[in-house]
Amino acid sequence: MKRELLDELMGLGVDVVSTPFECQFYGFDVTPLPKETSWVFRGTTPDAVLRPKNTEEVVKIMDFANKHKIPVCPRGGGTSGYYQSVPRSKGIVIETLALNNISELDEKEGIISVSGGVIWSQLDWELKKKGWTLKTYPTSYKSSTVAGWIQTEGLGVGSLAFGSIKKLIKEIEVVLPSGEVVWVPNEGLVETKSGNLKFEDFIKSEGMMGIITSVKLEVRRLPESTATYLLKFKDKNDFALVSSRLAEVSSIFFIEFVNGSYMDLLVQSGYHTPKHSKEEVFAVIRLEGGKSDVGKGEKEIAALLAEHTEIAQLPQEEAEEEYGYRLKYFRIKNAYSSVTPADLSVPLSNLGQYLDKVSRFRFEFAYKGEILTKEQCGLMFFYVLANELSFVRFMSAAPYQMEFILSAMKMGGSPNGGIGLLNTPYVFGLRTQSEREAFIQKKETFDQNWIMNPGKWTDPPFFLRPSIYFSGMKLLEPVCWLVGGIVGRW
Amino acid sequence: MKKYAAIEKQVRKCIQCGSCRVECPTGDDVGWISCSPRAKVLFIRDFLLGRKPTKVKMSEEFARRLFQCTLCGRCGVECITEIDFPEVWFEIRELVQEEGVKLPIVETVSGIIKDTKNVANQPNDDRPNWLKRAKLATDPTKVEKADVVYYVGCMSSFYPQSQSMARAFAQILEASGINFAIMGTSEHCCGFPMISTGKVHEAKELMYHNQEEIKKYGAKTVVATCPACTSMWKKEYPKLSGKPNDFEVMHATQFVLKLMKENKLKLVPPKQEMQVTFHDGCDLGRNGGVYDEPREILKMLPGVVFTEHSESKDISVCCGAGGDLLMTNPEMADRIGQKRAKSLSEVAPVAVTCCPSCKKQLKDAAKHAEVKLDTKDLLEMVADMLEKPEKPEKPEKAEA
Ligand SMILES: Cc1cc2nc3c(=O)[nH]c(=O)nc-3n(C[C@H](O)[C@H](O)[C@H](O)COP(=O)(O)OP(=O)(O)OC[C@H]3O[C@@H](n4cnc5c(N)ncnc54)[C@H](O)[C@@H]3O)c2cc1C
Ligand code: SF4
Ligand code: SF4
């Protein structure tokens, strides 16, 4: 950015930094990439970062950016993993964390108004002081923002009970790329100077349609009762067999499961685990709700255990301990610092079939799953091969990751975590062609200067285009086998 | 880099999730990500391992951010890959020193300690001056052999707001009939401010002196009122010297609880009931693992009503004084202190601490924030309740 423009930006009266030292940290998200890729992903370090404190300051920034056609990349906690919140052509990053106001709770309606940059854990802390809590949150609870999750429409802890975040939002305030401020209700159209918009235009839009500054969100009273279980299954098939039934248990709130290989990584990381074999599967189950509902759920689980005597119930303290670790599943990095996940979803009805299929892959792998809704299951396959310090190792893991995701897609699944830049090759599995075209058309109408988060799946670099990417991956497959064989672990 | 393999192992665990950022007191104060543990770890990782096409150079900008840290250890609680904070911060500060980046304020602080052997920039001969008002029957600096050595530390020796803590502890020791000694003018700074500035070599010099001096007492127990001094004697000295201590090291609260349980202290309830909350200092609590003893003492004290603060034990919020922040970034330290003082004052009118730095910091911060909060040291509360020896009755006038 030219000096005069930077000076004008500084003069807006919004908190700003523009030194290379300060800006460098906004050129990354959670995904480690080898240095050899930096020539591909150029322009990821912004020229300036701004931290607006209120909607008016956001409007000032958008007016400036529009006037000078400067790209704007919104960033909440920067916890997404596909470069959604990393710029592609320098410009400005708007870090939303100073939009952190938590207004009064409407106890009658069970709705709280918050600024878009509020972190989930902070909101929950404030709610708990009043005897209330969140209905759902991502496991990046301690660092991701309310608006950031809306923008990726994620599922997480509690979505099994309450559905996706989309259902829990009543209204959002958005600063459009033009600088116009609108309140968008969950249902119906809203009129703007450039045309009509609806809620769906912002959900999953990954910072490409405007900045969400305020959110009205449904919350709940602290549950009257809870129950936590840790169950041990002989193998993945035994778990898959009852998974749909578990998801239907009264007052079910959360189900997470891991395989024995994941437990091995925990042991190697210095943690105590129950005795296990590699094939066994362990599931943490949490019920939350009114006393009678939880009681009913407990009876249903007791009936299931009586029917399936092969399932073992482990002690209560161990169940509580595992549930307490639900945000810390990456602690297995104590064993291998290069542990990286392939993150995807499959229909719950196909879970057994999917796990069967991938277990035929050549290497042993650890996984963690979460039943996200009554129909959908999230899975993370952890692999140690993708050491970002070695370009060869990093690249040789990619075809495998591709296999995991494509296999899921063939069974009605998809990659998890949004598209951003790095999931562009899989865009066809996440948006239909007509959805993609409609989105691009909307963007052209409402963001005529194409300033909002450009360079992502809507206009990606050449070799992230699906056809190019998949051809490249096919060529890489033999390298993958070779390196994987040498490393001995996927 | 082989030399920094231990740091490398830790920072490579980081997944850049940012869970450490929100609760970091200095990160929160500054706002920009560069002051968050997440960014500092990323910088060091890139410095050591390289993720950018050009090599990352160690810089003063980074060092300035690195020292904007109270070493409170909260990031260690929050970190989802359980990186060994705050230990890693000490090691990174040492790395910065070794890479030749010198911050003037850090050099000044370490220079003062090197010259005067204390952080207060006072003649070290003034160290035992606090004893004058302690009204002890025996002068503990004159004791040659003792079971217990009380290592007083710089804060309680030199700073008036903390000297009362040293006096209180000495009075408790005397009241319990323990044979104890104080090193007096031969006591040097424990070296904590040195290792927290990354000057390990200088810290070792102080350690060697203290270890040599303490030998002559033949003590079975070394007790400190300052949690940082306790941690130095207990954890760092054996690590730095490669030799285990041949005495037990305790913080004064642990020692006093033992005395109370053995019924060695006779306490009289205060005239007025006292409503208090407790502030877990970072070095004693989160980083030292001492949570229960102060609470047990509080519950045993007559006339004291104790209410727990919601942010306590491992999620206690730093007062802002740690990690040399008070010296390197006094205004930031004060802002952090004011926040904590306000929050404590919402729970009770009195905050009890077990650390001379916390006590001084919270007292000052409460004044600056204009909140009604009195800060009391736990040992002083105990000493105030000690049964006073009955004054000898005046001899009746002899009958004429
Ligand atoms: C340890 C860990 C656990 C995770 N667990 C889950 C999980 O359980 N479920 C899940 O779905 N995801 C999960 N994620 C992924 C990620 O945390 C979520 O997508 C999260 O909601 C992103 O929020 P954020 O505030 O970090 O947004 P960012 O990553 O900063 O941004 C995400 C997108 O939103 C845009 N954006 C951010 N704020 C605004 C705004 N105010 N207005 C407009 N656009 C904006 C950005 O431009 C970007 O496109 C996890 C990630 C990690 C590292
Ligand atoms: S030790 Fe405390 S101040 Fe330092 S980085 Fe960690 S949380 Fe922040
Ligand atoms: S919480 Fe731990 S893993 Fe996450 S960014 Fe901070 S240091 Fe890294």
Mark whether A115 and A208 lie in a shared domain: yes
B129 and B230 fall within a common domain: yes
Tens of pLDDT along A287-302? 999 999 999 999 999 9
Of residues B368 and A384, more confidently modeled: B368
DSSP string of A100-136, one letter each residue: --EEEEETTTTEEEEETT-BHHHHHHHHHHTTEEES-
Do A145 and A195 lie in one domain? The reply is yes
**Residue A209 is part of a domain; what is its CATH number?**
3.30.465.10
How confident is residue A11, by pLDDT bands cut at 50, 70 and 90?
very high
**Structural domain containing residue B87:** 2-102
B397 located within any domain: no
Out of A190, A221, A252, pick the residue that ends a domain. A221
Give the range of the structural domain holding residue A161, as residue numbers without chain letter. 102-221
* Assigned domain for B398 exists: no
Q: Is residue A91 part of a domain?
A: yes
Query: What is the pTM (predicted TM-score) of this model?
Result: 0.95
Q: Grade residue A483 by pLDDT with cuts at 50, 70 and 90.
A: low
Find the closest chain B residue to A122 by CA distance.
Answer: B22
Q: Is residue B268 part of a domain?
A: no
B134 and B149, same domain (yes or no): yes
Domain shared by B243 and B210, yes or no: yes
CA quadruple A47, A51, A55, A60: dihedral sign: negative
pLDDT value at A269 more than 80: yes
Q: Are residues A155 and A235 in the same domain?
A: no
- The reply to whether A270 falls in a domain is yes
Average model confidence (pLDDT) across chain A: 93
CATH number at residue A34: 3.30.43.10
Same domain (yes/no): A324, A401: yes
Same domain assignment for residues A381 and A339: yes
Last residue of one domain, picked from the residues A45, A72, A95: A95
Please work out whether the CB of residue A147 comes within 6 Å of at least one atom of ligand 1: yes
Q: Are residues A199 and A229 in the same domain?
A: no
Does residue A50 sit within a domain? yes
Residues A122 and A194 in one domain: yes
To test the ligand 3 pocket, which listed residue (B7, B16, B35, B82) has its Cβ within 8 A of the most ligand atoms? B16
How many domains does one find in chain B? 3
Stretches where chain B sits below pLDDT 70 are 1, 51-53, 390-400
Which one of A28, A122, A142 has the shortest CB-CB distance to B42? Answer: A28
pLDDT band at A474 (very low <50, low <70, confident <90, very high): confident
Do the domain assignments include residue B327?
Answer: yes
| Residue tagged 């480690």 (tokens) | A32
Q: CA A255 → CA A156, A322, A349, A353, distances in Å?
A: 10, 11, 15, 19
- With 0-12 / 13-18 / 19 or more C-beta atoms within 10 angstroms meaning exposed / middle / buried, residue A275 is exposed
Confidence label for A210 from pLDDT (cuts 50, 70 and 90): very high
Q: What is the pLDDT of residue A338?
A: 77
Identify whether residues B379 and B285 lie together within a single domain. yes
pLDDT of residue B400: 37
Does any domain span residue A303? yes
For A30, A207, A282, B175, B343, the CA distances from B278, given in Å and listed in that order, are 38, 44, 40, 25, 12
Across residues A356-382, what is the average pLDDT?
90
- Regarding whether B240 and B213 lie in a shared domain, the answer is yes
The stretch A306-314 carries a mean pLDDT of 97
Of A28-42, A72-86, A227-241, A249-263, the one with minimum mean pLDDT is A28-42
Q: Closest-lying ligand to the alpha carbon of A328?
A: 1
Domain's final residue, options B261, B294, B316: B261
Q: Do B87 and B138 sit in the same domain of this protein?
A: no
Say if residue B113 is in the same domain as residue B254.
yes
Q: Tell me: do A176 and A314 sit in the same domain.
A: no
User: Which of these three, A221, A249, A273, is where a domain ends?
Assistant: A221
For residue B399, what pLDDT is reported?
45
Place of tokens 């299931």: A304
Do A266 and A377 belong together in one domain?
yes
Number of domains, chain A:
3
- Give CA–CA dist A342/A425, Å, rounded: 14
Same domain membership, residue B312 and residue B249: no
pLDDT at res. B51: 65
Residue of chain A nearest B57, judged by CA positions: A21
pLDDT at A486: 62
Residues B111 and B237 in one domain: yes
Residues B61 and B195 placed together within one structural domain of the fold: no
Q: Looking at residue A232, which CATH number applies to its domain?
A: 3.40.462.40
Peptide linkage before B104 cis (omega within 30 of 0):
no
Same domain, B186 and B248: yes
pLDDT given at position B388: 81
Using DSSP's 3-state secondary structure scheme, residue A157 falls into strand
In a domain, B400, yes or no: no
Residue A456 lies in a domain: no
Compute the average pLDDT of residues A244-262: 97
Chain A residues touching B49 at Cβ < 8 A: 389
Instruction: Answer with the one of B42, B74, B102 that is the final residue of a domain.
Output: B102
- Residue in the structure block whose two tokens are 């306590």: B312
Per the domain annotation, does A465 fall within a domain?
Answer: no
Whether A371 has a pLDDT exceeding 70, the answer reads yes
Any ligand 1 atom below 6 A from CB of A75: yes
- Interface touch A21/B62, C-beta < 8 Å: yes
In this predicted structure, the answer to whether residue A489 has a pLDDT above a threshold of 70 is no
Residue B60 located in a structural domain: yes
Pocket test for ligand 2, best of B10, B22, B26 (most atoms within 8 A of CB): B26
In a domain, A457, yes or no: no
Mean per-residue pLDDT, A446-464: 93
| Per-residue pLDDT, B283 | 97
- Could you give the ipTM of this predicted complex? 0.95
Closest CA relative to residue A443, chosen from A247, A239, A204: A204
Residues B246 and B339 in one domain: no
Q: Which residue of A has its CA nearest to B11?
A: A337
Last residue within a domain, chosen from B261, B296, B329: B261
Q: Locate B133 and state its tokens.
A: 């008002």
Q: Is B264 helix (H, G, I), strand (E, B) or coil?
A: coil
A184 and A245 both lie in a single domain: no
In a domain, A199, yes or no: yes
* B interface with A, Cβ–Cβ below 8 Å: 9, 12-13, 15-19, 21-23, 31-34, 38-39, 42-43, 49-53, 59, 61-62, 78, 80-82, 310
Same structural domain for residues A116 and A40?
A: no
Q: Kindly state whether residues A334 and A235 are assigned to the same domain.
A: yes
The arithmetic mean of pLDDT across residues A71-92, rounded, is 96
CATH code at position B145: 3.40.50
Please report where in the chains the tokens 């997440």 appear, as a residue: B38
